[in-house]
Amino acid sequence: MDGTSQIKYVADPIVETGEGGLLLFGYIINNEYQVDIKSGSVIKLYNTIEYHHHGDERFTNYLRLRETMLRLLTYLLAHASSGYVSNQELLVQVWENYNLSSSTTRLTQVVAELKARLSKIDIADDFIKTARGKGYTLRGASITPLYIKKI
């Protein structure tokens, strides 16, 4: 049994490098947020306390994503420099390759929910940009992949 079988990811690592035995761990977005693939979370790197209108106090630096939502986000992060990712490519890579049924309606719903969830930790609503007929891209994002050494 090799060392990689001991690592379970919520979303499969997008890349595995042959040289050096590195696995994709996650991403840093704009030097402010970390996406951790293994735990399925997005973490705001600088802790802040938000005061909401209802007078309650909450830390807004951590967000957990469901598997499909995490696959969608990590796929967009991995392809952020390529421009737009087509709806069809997302349907195949995020749903169909995992034996899930896909539709553009479902894609639209998950993107809307992902945007709403990300806004809870202060990621702008227009971070994920939609263009009719082109697909989705990430607006003005500096994306840094993070790797771990394979054991």
User: Running DSSP on this structure, what letter comes out for residue 14?
Assistant: S
Apex 38 CA angle, 75 and 102, nearest 5 = 40
Backbone angles phi, psi at 129, to 5 degrees: -105, 135
Beta bridge partners of residue 64, listed in sequence order? 41
pLDDT score for 151 = 67
- In single-letter form, the type of residue at position 93 comes to Q
pLDDT score for 11 = 46
User: Running DSSP on this structure, what letter comes out for residue 137?
Assistant: E
The pLDDT of residue 52 is above 60: no
106-135 residue pLDDT tens: 999 999 999 999 998 889 889 999 998 889
Can you list the domains of the chain with their CATH numbers?
A: 3-149 (1.10.10.10)
**Mean of the pLDDT values across residues 78-102?**
94
- In single-letter form, the type of residue at position 3 comes to G
